[in-house]
C-alpha cells in the first residue's frame, strides 16, 4: 500500500491530524522553521543581487535527519504547514533542506483542523506558491537589513544588546509621540450641573443634566456656574418636549487577529502574546472528553471576517434550534470593509459550533475556556439579529435654562442574548415613561461639579494593536512579537494595562527619528507593507523592493556613523564618593537605565542607584527633586527624601514657582502649568 507523508509544524498539530487519516498516512512535525539566515552575520549576498544565505538552524540537524528517513519511505509527501506566508516559506525551506522531489511533493493548506478540511486539502493539493514565499523572503531580508545595520549604532550610542526593527521602531515612535502629546497637554476647566426633580405621584426622583439656555452650552468657570445657579433660584420647571424612538445595535463581525487581541486585552486581561499562545493551542488541538484530540478554532492569524458557507449554514442551524429562527440575521451579516484583506483566510471561529463552551469546559484550562468562550460567543452572535431598544428623551425648561434626561429599554435582545459585556448593559430611567408634555416638576437638589479635561490616554496593548492595524503597520502575525520585543528590550514599561515610554526607549527613539527618519515614518512603513502585499499577489518582484530600499538605508547608516563618531560618550563623573575606595563614582547605563558605579572596577565593584537632580527644590520639604523610575522603567520626578516625602509628578517640574498659589510649575510642551489643576495658572515657557 502506498505510503503518504504529511509534514506539519508542531507535534500537537500532527497528533490532531493523525486521528483523521488511515494507516497509509504518516504525520510528522518540523517544529517550525528548519533554515534561517545566520545570527552571527548579515546573511545577505550584496554582490549577488541581495540573495539571502540560509543555513540549518542550530539544533535542527538531528530532526532533519529523521525527516529524511521518513521521506525515503514515502511515495507521496504533503507539506501542511500553516496557511500563510510564513507557513508557505517553511514548506519551501523543507523542500530545499530535504531535497524533495517536486514530482512527488505537494503543498496542502487548511483553515481548520477537521476531518473534512484535511481530507479536502489533500484532494486540492498544489505546488508551493513562490509569490507567498518571496513576500516572506522580502520581509525577512528587509528586517535583517534594518536590524543588522542600525543595531550596532545603538550599541555605540547607548549600550550593547539594544535593537532596531522595521516595524518595532515605528511602533516605538507611535508610543513616543503619544507620550509627547500627554506631556504637552494643558487641562481645561469645565463644570457640570445635575438636578433632581420630584414629580407629583411618583416617589422616585428624576435626575437630569444641564443642557443650555436653551441652546447647548458648555460651562467653563465657577463664575458661569454661579450665574446659572442664581438664575435658576426659585424657577418653575415643566416638560417642554418628549421624544420616543427606536434604535438598533448591529451584531459584531467574527474575530480577526487584531480584534481578538483587543477584546482579550480589554475583557480577559490577556497580553497579546498570551492570547496568541492560547489560540495556537486551541487551533492545533486539545484533548476533549468524548472526542479525542480536536482543533477547536480556525487559523488564528487573519485579517478577514469572511466565513465559509458550510460554517455559516452550521451556525444558522444551531441558532435556529437553540435561540429561535426569529433571531437569525438575514444575508451574510455585518461585513468589515476598507483595507485590502490578506491571504483570503476565514475569520477566527469555532470549528464545531455545536461544541458549546459549557460542554467542553472540563477538558480545557481556565484560560483556554475563557478564550474559546469569547470566540464561540462572538461567532454565534455574528449570525444573529440586531438588538433593538426603545428610547425616550425629555427636555425640561425653567428659568430660561434647559435640562435633559434620556433612557433606553432593551426590547429585543437579538445577538445580545449570546454576546454581551458589562459595559453593554443599559438601564432605562423608569420615571421618564410616566412623564407627559407640559408636566410640572419641582426642583430638588442642584449638584454642581468641577472637572478638568483629560490628556489622551496612554496606549494599551489593545489600543496599540488597533492603531497599528489602522495605519497599515505590520500584519496579524507581527502585532504580538512587536509589542513583546518593546517590553523585553525595556523600551516600554507596562503598568496595569498601560504602556509607558522608558528613558531607554526615549533615547533609542530620538536616535531613530534623527538619524533614520524614513525607517520610523508611518507612511513609509505602511507603503512598504502594501508593496509586500504586491509581492504576495504576484504584481511586484521582491528583489525590486530590496534594490530600491538598500541604497537609501546604506547612505543613512554611513551618515549616522560619521555623526556618531564625533559624539564621544564618556562616563560622567559625579560628586558622589565611593565609600569603599574613595574614588568619585561615575554614571553608567544598565538594562534599567542609569546607575552609579565605581570607576575602579573590577577591583572595586560598588554600585548605587543614580538620581539625577534637575535643579528644583521640593515644595514640601526642600529636598532635591530628582529623576526616578518605576520598577518597570517609566520615568517620573520625585523628592529625593522619599519615602519620608511623597511629592512626585510625571511631568518635569520647572525651577519657577506658581505666582498664584506657590505650587510647582510643570512643563507642558511650550507652556508652564501649575501642578494644582484647581489653581489653573498657565504661562509661556521662557525661551519657547
Which residues are the active-site residues?
299
The C-alpha atoms of residue 506 and residue 300 are separated, in whole angstroms, by 33
Q: Which of 305, 308, 320, 323 is nearest to 382 (CA)?
A: 305
Here the cell at position 13 is: 498539530
CB 411 within 8 A of CB 392: no
Q: Which of 120, 124, 18, 28 is nearest to 81 (CA)?
A: 28
The C-alpha atoms of residue 669 and residue 179 are separated, in whole angstroms, by 11
Q: Show Cβ contacts of residue 506 under 8 Å, excluding neighbours closer than 6 positions.
A: 176, 179, 635
Residue whose entry in the numeric block shows the C-alpha cell 540573495? 51
CB 623 within 8 A of CB 630: no
Residue whose entry in the numeric block shows the C-alpha cell 496606549? 459
For helices 85-98 and 130-157, the axis angle rounded to 10 degrees is: 100
CB 244 within 8 A of CB 437: no
The C-alpha atoms of residue 606 and residue 599 are separated, in whole angstroms, by 9
Which secondary structure element, helix H or strand E, spans residue 412, and what is its range? strand 401-412
Give all strands (DSSP E) within 3-131, no chain letters: 4-8, 25-29, 35-36, 44-45, 51-52, 55-56, 76-79, 105-107
Residue whose entry in the numeric block shows the C-alpha cell 546604506? 554
DSSP summary character for residue 212: E
Identify the burial level of 379 via C-beta atoms within 10 angstroms of its C-beta, where 0-12 means exposed, 13-18 middle and 19 or more buried.
buried
Q: Show Cβ contacts of residue 347 under 8 Å, excluding neighbours closer than 6 positions.
A: 253, 254, 255, 256, 298, 302, 304, 305, 306, 307, 379
The torsion defined by the Cα of 410, 415, 417 and 421, in degrees rounded to 10, comes to -80
The C-alpha atoms of residue 571 and residue 612 are separated, in whole angstroms, by 14
CB 166 within 8 A of CB 143: yes
* Strand 4-8 with 25-29, pairing: parallel
For helices 168-184 and 461-471, the axis angle rounded to 10 degrees is: 110
- Count the neighbouring beta carbons within 10 Å of the beta carbon of residue 313: 12
Tell me how many helices (H) and strands (E) the chain has.
Answer: 17, 30
CB 473 within 8 A of CB 166: no
The C-alpha atoms of residue 406 and residue 206 are separated, in whole angstroms, by 10
DSSP summary character for residue 264: I
DSSP summary character for residue 361: G
Q: What is the 3-state secondary structure (H, E, C) of 586-644?
A: EEEEECCEEEEECCCCCCCCCEEECCEEEEEECCCCCCEEEEEECCCCEEEEEECCCCC
| CA gyration radius, the chain | 31
Amino acid at each position: 500500500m502506498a505510503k503518504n507523508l504529511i509534514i506539519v509544524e508542531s507535534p500537537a498539530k500532527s497528533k490532531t491530524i493523525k486521528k483523521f487519516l488511515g494507516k497509509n498516512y504518516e504525520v510528522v512535525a518540523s517544529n517550525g522553521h528548519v533554515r534561517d539566515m545566520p545570527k552571527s552575520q548579515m546573511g545577505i549576498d550584496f554582490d549577488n543581487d541581495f540573495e539571502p544565505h540560509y543555513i540549518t538552524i542550530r539544533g535542527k540537524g538531528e530532526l532533519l535527519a529523521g525527516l529524511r528517513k521518513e521521506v525515503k519511505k514515502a511515495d507521496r509527501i504533503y507539506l501542511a504547514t500553516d496557511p500563510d506566508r510564513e507557513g508557505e516559506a517553511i514548506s519551501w525551506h523543507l523542500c530545499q533542506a530535504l531535497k524533495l522531489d517536486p514530482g512527488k511533493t505537494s503543498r496542502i493548506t487548511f483553515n481548520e483542523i477537521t476531518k473534512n478540511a484535511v481530507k479536502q486539502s489533500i484532494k486540492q493539493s498544489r505546488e508551493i506558491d513562490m509569490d507567498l514565499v518571496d513576500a516572506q523572503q522580502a520581509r525577512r531580508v528587509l528586517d535583517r537589513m534594518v536590524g543588522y545595520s542600525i543595531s550596532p549604532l545603538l550599541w555605540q550610542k547607548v549600550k550593547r544588546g539594544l535593537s532596531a526593527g522595521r516595524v518595532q521602531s515605528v511602533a516605538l515612535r507611535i508610543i513616543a509621540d503619544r507620550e509627547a502629546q500627554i506631556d504637552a497637554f494643558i487641562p481645561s476647566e469645565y463644570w457640570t450641573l445635575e438636578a433632581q426633580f420630584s414629580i407629583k405621584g411618583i416617589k422616585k426622583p428624576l435626575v437630569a443634566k444641564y443642557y443650555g439656555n436653551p441652546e447647548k452650552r458648555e460651562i467653563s468657570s465657577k463664575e458661569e456656574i454661579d450665574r446659572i445657579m442664581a438664575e435658576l433660584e426659585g424657577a418653575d420647571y415643566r416638560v417642554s418636549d418628549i421624544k420616543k424612538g427606536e434604535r438598533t445595535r448591529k451584531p459584531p463581525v467574527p474575530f480577526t487577529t487584531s480584534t481578538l487581541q483587543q477584546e482579550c486585552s480589554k475583557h480577559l486581561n490577556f497580553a497579546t502574546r498570551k492570547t496568541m499562545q492560547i489560540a495556537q493551542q486551541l487551533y492545533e488541538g486539545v484533548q476533549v472528553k468524548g472526542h479525542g484530540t480536536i482543533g477547536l478554532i480556525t487559523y488564528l492569524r487573519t485579517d478577514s471576517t469572511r466565513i465559509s458557507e458550510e460554517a455559516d449554514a452550521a451556525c444558522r442551524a444551531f441558532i435556529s434550534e437553540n435561540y429561535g429562527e426569529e433571531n437569525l440575521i438575514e444575508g451574510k451579516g455585518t461585513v468589515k470593509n476598507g483595507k485590502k484583506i490578506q491571504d483570503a483566510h476565514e475569520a477566527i471561529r469555532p470549528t464545531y459550533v455545536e461544541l458549546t463552551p459549557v460542554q467542553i469546559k472540563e477538558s480545557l484550562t481556565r484560560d483556554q475556556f475563557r478564550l474559546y468562550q469569547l470566540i464561540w460567543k462572538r461567532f454565534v452572535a455574528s449570525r444573529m439579529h440586531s438588538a433593538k431598544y426603545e428610547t425616550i428623551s425629555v427636555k425640561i425648561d425653567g428659568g430660561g435654562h434647559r435640562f435633559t434626561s434620556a433612557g433606553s429599554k432593551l426590547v429585543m435582545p437579538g445577538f445580545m442574548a449570546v454576546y454581551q459585556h458589562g459595559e453593554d448593559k443599559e438601564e432605562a430611567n423608569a420615571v421618564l415613561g410616566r412623564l407627559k408634555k407640559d408636566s410640572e416638576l419641582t426642583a430638588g437638589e442642584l449638584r454642581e461639579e468641577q472637572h478638568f479635561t483629560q490628556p489622551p490616554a496612554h496606549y494599551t496593548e489593545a489600543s496599540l494593536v488597533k492603531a497599528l492595524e489602522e495605519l497599515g503597520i505590520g500584519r496579524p502575525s507581527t502585532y504580538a512579537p512587536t509589542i513583546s520585543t518593546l517590553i523585553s528590550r525595556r523600551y516600554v514599561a507596562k503598568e496595569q494595562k498601560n504602556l509607558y515610554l522608558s528613558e531607554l526607549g526615549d533615547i533609542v527613539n530620538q536616535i531613530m527619528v534623527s538619524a533614520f527618519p524614513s525607517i520610523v515614518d508611518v507612511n513609509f512603513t505602511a507603503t512598504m507593507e502594501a508593496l509586500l502585499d504586491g509581492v504576495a499577489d504576484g504584481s511586484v518582484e521582491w528583489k525590486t523592493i530590496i534594490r530600491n530600499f538598500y541604497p537609501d538605508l546604506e547612505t543613512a547608516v554611513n551618515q549616522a556613523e560619521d555623526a556618531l563618531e564625533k559624539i564621544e560618550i564618556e562616563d560622567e563623573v559625579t560628586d558622589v564618593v565611593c565609600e569603599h575606595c574613595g574614588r568619585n563614582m561615575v554614571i553608567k547605563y544598565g538594562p534599567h537605565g542609569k546607575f552609579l558605579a565605581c570607576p575602579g572596577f573590577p577591583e572595586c565593584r560598588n554600585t548605587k542607584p543614580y538620581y539625577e537632580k534637575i535643579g528644583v527644590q521640593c515644595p514640601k520639604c526642600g529636598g532635591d527633586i530628582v529623576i526616578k523610575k518605576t520598577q518597570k522603567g517609566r520615568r517620573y520626578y520625585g523628592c529625593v527624601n522619599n519615602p519620608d516625602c511623597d511629592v512626585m509628578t510625571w511631568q518635569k517640574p520647572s525651577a519657577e514657582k506658581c505666582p498664584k498659589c506657590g505650587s510647582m510649575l510643570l512643563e507642558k510642551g511650550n507652556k508652564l502649568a501649575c501642578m494644582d489643576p484647581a489653581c489653573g495658572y498657565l504661562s509661556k515657557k521662557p525661551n519657547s
